Amino acid sequence: MRKIIAVLFISLLTCAQINELSPIPAFFSPSTKNAEIFIEDAKNNNFHPITYENYISGRITVPKHHHPFILFIADFHTPLNFVAKDKNYNLPTYHKDFDPVESIRVSSLSDVNFKEWIEINKQKELFTSNGKPRIIEYPLSIEGQLFTYASSDNMFKSNTGKFPFLTKKQPFLSKSERLKSKDYSLRGYHLSYGAINNVAKINTQIDLIKSSNLDAIVIDYKSYFAEIQKEYKSYKSFMEANDSDILKKMNSFNTMISLFKKQNIKVSLRIVVATDSFIQRYNSNLVLWNKKTNQPWQDYFGQYWVDLYSPEVIEYYKKIIRIATLLSPSEIQLDYIRFPSEGDTNLILARRSNGTARYKAVDNFCKEMLPIIDKANISFAVDIFGIVVWDKKDTTQILGQNILTFMRYADEICPMLYPSHFHSGFENIKAPGDMPYLFMLKGTKRFKKLIDQYPQYPTIMVPWIQAFEYMAPSYGPSYIKEQIKAINETGMDGFIAWNARNDYKILIQGLK
């Protein structure tokens, strides 16, 4: 009996050491010879090297109770961030707070030997392997640190509670595996709620969609929901209202969704994030501030923009999106998840940023919304500024939009590649608005190239196309055809058309 108790006690101690959600150190060696010496010293201390590819895949292959470290040698081309000897830690890619935009933090072997590094970092809690690369194991107490998706297919997860030897592995689905069960929109157009606010109008749109070989409708959700919110006379009363009670007030909207879905038409609810009339009226403390006037910052149209850094804004949108998922749409599509680009943007003060980069606020917003949307098994789509597919640093800095951020969280990315919205000379095109095929070809090629660079984040590619005549002298059915031709040639998964007046006569002609 004593032997059994002793074995169980040893087992408990042993298993408690395993934590595959802790950080992994990374090193850079200027030569293979230096690396070989370092590896030998490391192995003597139960540290084993892994490649960058192993790290990204989340399949960490080292012996049980040993620690991995990422090793880069000589002319490796991945961007690296050289840091001090006690700062070269990187979260596993399946950790909730992993940031795909950040470069890997490394220390140079020319500055440190392994014994010295061990001495400096001996108090740090490091990734400790269970020896099973397809099973992610971690203490139950930190389960909230695990990301929604695994980094590779065919993965499992296992948390260790009071009795580690009784734990069972559970499937830990990757993004690509989850995509198989979701119903994302591929060919459709956008409508404001006023265009479908009765059964006759809905049936007209159903006939139009089915006769045009389309499969989806994108509906402006907040233009409807703003009317529901008018029943609440304070921010607090809305936030404290029960979600199911609010849902009961939305019977007509629920019926509309059901009518479309009964005809096998996917319904995507578009939710504008950056501007919100309810917050503007009842809680303007949650918006971006004007440094000069010490009042809410306003764009050219007099609109306030929410402060995406604000935890209260996050909680507000969690409620908005929870209620939207209760309507059982096919998809939630978030638009304007960004900072302003028009107006006197130099005067903007995000009072809750603490100096954090803007893209991190966008990253955190998506991170908080993803579990709500995924739990409902609803597709998560995002609309992005068309310029984002050109992957410029200043775009990330100013707008806070980076393609990698959205690739990690969203099932579907929809860049707004409207030719007429780009200035003369862009991409060496004299008048982009008059060259729909050429401009869409260039834009979608760049988009696909970015998506293909990161196979760990499979993403449905559905650009918005221009279905309006603004700055497009040649607008007509052929304008639609040329955009779609470019989209098909570059391997996009579909398209969504935009016309602010809900006028799609030219689109329908162009689809024939």
Residue 75: pLDDT band (50, 70, 90) is: confident
How confident is the model at residue 306, as a pLDDT? Answer: 98
Going by C-alpha positions, the residue among 450, 430, 432 that lies closest to residue 491 is 450
Q: Is the pLDDT of residue 5 over 60?
A: no
Among left, alpha and beta (phi > 0; psi -120 to 50; other), residue 174 is beta
Proportion of the chain in helix, strand, coil states, percent, rounded to 5? 40, 20, 40
Q: How far is CA 83 from CA 279, 283, 370, in A?
A: 41, 42, 32
How confident is the model at residue 2, as a pLDDT? Answer: 44
Element (H, E) at 359: helix 358-375
Sequence-ordered strand ranges (E) for 187-299: 187-191, 216-220, 266-272, 289-290
Separation between Cα atoms, residue 18 and residue 129, nearest integer Å: 6
pLDDT in tens, 185-231: 899 999 999 999 999 999 999 999 999 999 999 999 998 999 999 99
Average pLDDT score over residue span 237-263: 97
Of 75 and 312, the structure prediction assigns the larger pLDDT to 312
How confident is the model at residue 204, as a pLDDT? Answer: 97
Q: Are 156 and 172 in contact (CB under 8 A)?
A: yes
How confident is the model at residue 16, as a pLDDT? Answer: 43
Parallel, antiparallel, or unpaired for β 67-73 and 24-29? parallel
Instruction: Give every CB contact of residue 184 below 8 A, 6+ residues apart in sequence.
Output: 266, 330, 331, 379, 381, 411, 412, 460, 462
Helix (H, G, I), strand (E, B) or coil at 217: strand
Q: Are 137 and 158 in contact (CB under 8 A)?
A: yes
Average pLDDT score over residue span 339-347: 94
How confident is the model at residue 166, as a pLDDT? Answer: 64
Parallel, antiparallel, or unpaired for β 348-349 and 412-416? unpaired
Residue percentage of the chain with pLDDT more than 90: 85
Going by C-alpha positions, the residue among 351, 478, 470 that lies closest to residue 416 is 470
Average pLDDT score over residue span 182-187: 90
Residue 411: pLDDT band (50, 70, 90) is: very high
Residue 111: pLDDT band (50, 70, 90) is: confident
Of 114 and 415, the structure prediction assigns the larger pLDDT to 415
How confident is the model at residue 162, as a pLDDT? Answer: 63
Average pLDDT score over residue span 434-447: 96
Q: Are 60 and 92 in contact (CB under 8 A)?
A: yes
Q: Is the pLDDT of residue 397 over 90?
A: yes
Average pLDDT score over residue span 268-292: 97
Average pLDDT score over residue span 36-45: 92
Sequence-ordered strand ranges (E) for 325-483: 331-335, 348-349, 379-385, 412-416, 460-461, 464-466
Sequence-ordered strand ranges (E) for 377-418: 379-385, 412-416
Average pLDDT score over residue span 240-268: 97
Token pair 């040639």 in the structure block, residue: 489
pLDDT in tens, 455-508: 999 999 999 999 999 988 899 999 999 999 999 999 999 999 999 999 999 999
Separation between Cα atoms, residue 36 and residue 38, nearest integer Å: 5
Residue 355: pLDDT band (50, 70, 90) is: very high
Average pLDDT score over residue span 267-282: 97
Q: Is the pLDDT of residue 1 over 50?
A: no
How confident is the model at residue 7, as a pLDDT? Answer: 38
Lowest mean pLDDT among 5-19, 112-126, 354-368: 5-19
Separation between Cα atoms, residue 464 and residue 188, nearest integer Å: 10
Residue 164: pLDDT band (50, 70, 90) is: low
Question: What domains sit in the chain, N to C, each tagged with a CATH number?
Answer: 2-173 (no CATH), 178-416 (3.20.20.80), 418-436+464-512 (no CATH)
Burial class (CB in 10 A: 0-12, 13-18, 19+), 339: buried
Measured N-to-C along each axis, helices 199-211 and 251-262 cross at an angle, to the nearest 10 degrees, of 30
Q: Is the pLDDT of residue 85 over 80?
A: yes
